[in-house]
Structure 1
Amino acid sequence: MNWATVVIFVLGIANFAINRAVFESGHPLFARLPQISQTLGRRAALASEFAVLLVALMLSVKGWPASAFGYAIYTACNAGAAWLILTRRI
Structure 2
Amino acid sequence: MLLGILFVLGTVNFAVHKAVLESNHPMLDTLPQSFTANGGKLSLVIEFCVLIVAMALSDNGWPAAAWVYGCYSALNAVTAWLLLNGRV
Does the pair score TM above 0.5? yes
| Kept in 2: contact 1:4–1:67 (CA 8 A) | no
* Larger relative contact order, structure 1 or 2 (CA cutoff 8 Å, min sep 6): 1
Q: TM-score, normalised by structure 2?
A: 0.82
Q: Number of paired residues?
A: 87
Offset at residue 43 of structure 1 (A): 2.0
**Identity percentage over the alignment?**
46
Q: In structure 2, how many angstroms separate the alpha carbons of the residues matched to 1:66 and 1:49?
A: 18
Offset at residue 29 of structure 1 (A): 3.8
Offset at residue 41 of structure 1 (A): 7.4
Q: In structure 2, how many angstroms separate the alpha carbons of the residues matched to 1:38 and 1:74?
A: 20
Aligned to 2:55: 57
- Indicate the structure (1 or 2) with the bigger Cα radius of gyration: 1
Offset at residue 24 of structure 1 (A): 1.3
Offset at residue 38 of structure 1 (A): 2.9
Whichever residue aligns with residue 69 of structure 2, its letter is Y
RMSD of equivalent CA atoms: 2.5
> How has the CA–CA distance of structure 1 residues 10 and 87 changed in structure 2, closer, same or farther, with 3 Å as cutoff?
same
Aligned counterpart for 2:16 among listed residues 9, 15, 18: 18
User: Secondary structure of 2:40's match?
Assistant: helix
Q: Unmatched 5+ residue regions in structure 2?
A: none
Counterpart mapping for 1:8-87 below 5 A: 8-30=6-28, 38-39=36-37, 42-87=40-85
Whichever residue aligns with residue 16 of structure 1, its letter is F
